[in-house]
C-alpha cells in the first residue's frame, strides 16, 4: 500500500514512528562506532613507567633494536657458532610483533623460553636468568610493551642457521637439562639469605633481569652457562669465552682481570656512564650501558656493585704493580723497539707515554683488566676496528677510537698489542700475527679486511 493513499492522520503517525526508528538506529550506529573506536583503557601510567624501568634493567633494547632501527623492532644479528640469529620484533604490532600475545604467553616466553605456538626459543634469549624475575616486574613489563612501545610493522629476517641445527625440537631437551624452572630459579635468587637488603637487591638485578652471566660466565659444549648464580660455584661471572671478537672479563674479585681494585662507586659509575678511572665500555658492553644500566637508579647500581664485590676470585692473581721502565724508554728519545715505536706513533697521544690515559676521556692501558685477560681478542679487536663510547645521561660526551685495520699490518698490530700487554707492569701473554689475522677475517667492514697499510701519501 502506498503511503499517499493512507488517511492524513495515519500518515503523520507512521512518519513519526519511522523517524523514531531511524533516530534510534542512528544513535545505535553512532554508539557502536564510538565503542569500536574507543581503545581499551590504558593501565596506570605508573605501572607502564615501572615496566619501562624493568625493560632497561633487563637490557631488552640492546638485543631487540638493530643499528639505526626502530626501538624493539628486531633484526639485530647474533653471530653464533651455529649460525646467525636475528632478534625478534617485540613491539605490539599484531602481525610482526607480540601484539596478540596474552600476558600468560608473554611471561612464559620470558621465563621458560617457549613461544605461544609451543616452539622453544634459542638460548640466546637469556630465559634461564629471566626465570628469576618477579611476577610484579613481569606484569609491569608486559603493560609497558603493550601500552608504552610504538608498534612497528617490520618483518624479521629469517635466521641463517643450517639444518639440522635450525630444528627447534631438540631445544626442549636443552631446556629440560639446563634451564631451571621459574619456581626453582626464583627460590634460588630471591629467597636465599643475604647479609644486607642491598646485596639481596643486587643479586636479583645481576642474576635475574641483568643476566650478566649470559656473557661473563663460560659456556659448555651445549652452549649452556656453567653456572647461573653465585650458589652454583666459582664459574659464575668468572669470565666468558670470546663472543663476536670480544672477551668478557671476570666480574669476580680477581686482582688483575677482575674487580678487586674497583670500589662500589667505581662499578656504579661504570654501569651509569660507561667509564671510570679503570677503563671504558666497548664491544657488547657499550650498548648494554647505553640502552640499559645508565637508566637505573644510583641505589640499584650500588646494589649491583655491592653484590659483585661479594664474589671472591676464582683464580688467585698477583696484584698489578706499576713499572716505569716503558715510560722512561718512550720519553728518552733514544733507540726504541718496534712495539715502542708503533705505540708512540699511533697510541701515545691519547693513552699517554705512561699508559695511564686521561680518565674518564681516554681509558688507561696500564693495569686495565681487559688488557690483562689471557685471551687477546678484545685488544686486537679494538685496535683493528676501533669503537665509539656514546654519551650517557651521566657523561654526555661521546668519544671514538679510530680503527687501524687499514693502517697497520697483522704483524704491526701484534707487535703493538704485545707491547701494550707487557708494558708499565702489565703481564699478559704476547700476541701473534696469526691471532690478528684470524680475528681480522671476522670483521664486517671492508677496511678491516686490508692486510697491508695503504701507500704513504
Cβ-Cβ contacts under 8 Å for 105 (sequence gap 6 or more): 115, 116
**Alpha carbons 359 and 422: distance in angstroms, whole number:** 21
Positive or negative, the CA dihedral 202, 204, 206, 207 is: positive
Task: Name beta bridge partners: 387.
Answer: 401
**Alpha carbons 383 and 367: distance in angstroms, whole number:** 18
Q: Are the CB atoms for 277 and 360 separated by under 8 Å?
A: yes
- Residue 23 is assigned to a ligand binding site: no
**What is the separation of C-alpha 373 from the centre of its chain, rounded to a whole number of angstroms?**
21
Nearest to 51 by CA among 110, 137, 147: 137
Secondary structure (DSSP) of 136-204? HHHHHHHHHHHHTS-----PPPPPB--TTTT--THHHHHHHHHSPPHHHHHHHHHSS--SSHHHHHHHH
- Residue 351 is assigned to a ligand binding site: yes
- Residue 64 is assigned to a ligand binding site: yes
Count of CA atoms in the C-beta half-sphere (13 A) of 285 = 23
Q: Are the CB atoms for 412 and 374 separated by under 8 Å?
A: no
Cβ–Cβ contacts within 10 Å for residue 331, how many?
13
Count of CA atoms in the C-beta half-sphere (13 A) of 112 = 18
Q: Are the CB atoms for 42 and 149 separated by under 8 Å?
A: no
- Residue 212 is assigned to a ligand binding site: yes
**Alpha carbons 244 and 439: distance in angstroms, whole number:** 9
Angle, helices 377-385/410-422, rounded to nearest 10 degrees: 130
- Residue 28 is assigned to a ligand binding site: no
Query: 262 is written with which cell numbers?
Result: 674497583
The residue behind cell 627460590 is 187
**Alpha carbons 188 and 171: distance in angstroms, whole number:** 23
**Alpha carbons 160 and 164: distance in angstroms, whole number:** 12
Nearest to 431 by CA among 401, 410, 409, 453: 410
- Residue 63 is assigned to a ligand binding site: yes
3-state SS, residue 85? strand
Binding residues: 60, 63-64, 212, 215-216, 347, 350-351
Binding residues for heme c: 60, 63-64, 212, 215-216, 347, 350-351
Amino acid at each position: 500500500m502506498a503511503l499517499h493513499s493512507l488517511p492524513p492522520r495515519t500518515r503523520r503517525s507512521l512518519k513519526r514512528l519511522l523517524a523514531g526508528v531511524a533516530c534510534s538506529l542512528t544513535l545505535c550506529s553512532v554508539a557502536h562506532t564510538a565503542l569500536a573506536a574507543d581503545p581499551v583503557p590504558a593501565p596506570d601510567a605508573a605501572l607502564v613507567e615501572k615496566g619501562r624501568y624493568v625493560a632497561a634493567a633487563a637490557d631488552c633494547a640492546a638485543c631487540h633494536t638493530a643499528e639505526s632501527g626502530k626501538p624493539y623492532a628486531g633484526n639485530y644479528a647474533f653471530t653464533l657458532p651455529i649460525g646467525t640469529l636475528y632478534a625478534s620484533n617485540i613491539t605490539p604490532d599484531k602481525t610482526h610483533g607480540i601484539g596478540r600475545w596474552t600476558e600468560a604467553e608473554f611471561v612464559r616466553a620470558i621465563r621458560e623460553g617457549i613461544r605461544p605456538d609451543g616452539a622453544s626459543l634459542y638460548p640466546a634469549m637469556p630465559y634461564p636468568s629471566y626465570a628469576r624475575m618477579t611476577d610484579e616486574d613481569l606484569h609491569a613489563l608486559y603493560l609497558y610493551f603493550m601500552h608504552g612501545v610504538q608498534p612497528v610493522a617490520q618483518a624479521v629476517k629469517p635466521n641463517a642457521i643450517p639444518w639440522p641445527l635450525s630444528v627447534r625440537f631438540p631445544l626442549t631437551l636443552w631446556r629440560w637439562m639446563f634451564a631451571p624452572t621459574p619456581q626453582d630459579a626464583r627460590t634460588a635468587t630471591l629467597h636465599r639469605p643475604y647479609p644486607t637488603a642491598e646485596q639481596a637487591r643486587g643479586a636479583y638485578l645481576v642474576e635475574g633481569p641483568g643476566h650478566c652471566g649470559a656473557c661473563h660466565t663460560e659456556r659448555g659444549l651445549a652452549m649452556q652457562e656453567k653456572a647461573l648464580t653465585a650458589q652454583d660455584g666459582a664459574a659464575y661471572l668468572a669470565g666468558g669465552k670470546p663472543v663476536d671478537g670480544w672477551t668478557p672479563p671476570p666480574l669476580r674479585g680477581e686482582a688483575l682481570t677482575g674487580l678487586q681494585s674497583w670500589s662500589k662507586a667505581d662499578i656504579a659509575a661504570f654501569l651509569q656512564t660507561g667509564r671510570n678511572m679503570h677503563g671504558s665500555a666497548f664491544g657488547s658492553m657499550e650498548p648494554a650501558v647505553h640502552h640499559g644500566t645508565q637508566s637505573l637508579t644510583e641505589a640499584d647500581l650500588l646494589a649491583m656493585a655491592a653484590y659483585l664485590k661479594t664474589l671472591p676470585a676464582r683464580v688467585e692473581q698477583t696484584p698489578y704493580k706499576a713499572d716505569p721502565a716503558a715510560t722512561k724508554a718512550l720519553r728518552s728519545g733514544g733507540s726504541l723497539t718496534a712495539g715502542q715505536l708503533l705505540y708512540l706513533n699511533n697510541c701515545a697521544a691519547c693513552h699517554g707515554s705512561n699508559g695511564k690515559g686521561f680518565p674518564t676521556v681516554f681509558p688507561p692501558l696500564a693495569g686495565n683488566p681487559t688488557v690483562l685477560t689471557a685471551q687477546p681478542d678484545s685488544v686486537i679487536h679494538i685496535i683493528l676496528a676501533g669503537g665509539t663510547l656514546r654519551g650517557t645521561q651521566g657523561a654526555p660526551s661521546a668519544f671514538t677510537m679510530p680503527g687501524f685495520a687499514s693502517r697497520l699490518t697483522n704483524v704491526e698490530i701484534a707487535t703493538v698489542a704485545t707491547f701494550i700487554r707487557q708494558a708499565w707492569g702489565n703481564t699478559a701473554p704476547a700476541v701473534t700475527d696469526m691471532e690478528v689475522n684470524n680475528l681480522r677475517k671476522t670483521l664486517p667492514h671492508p677496511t678491516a679486511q686490508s692486510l697491508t697499510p695503504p701507500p704513504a701519501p
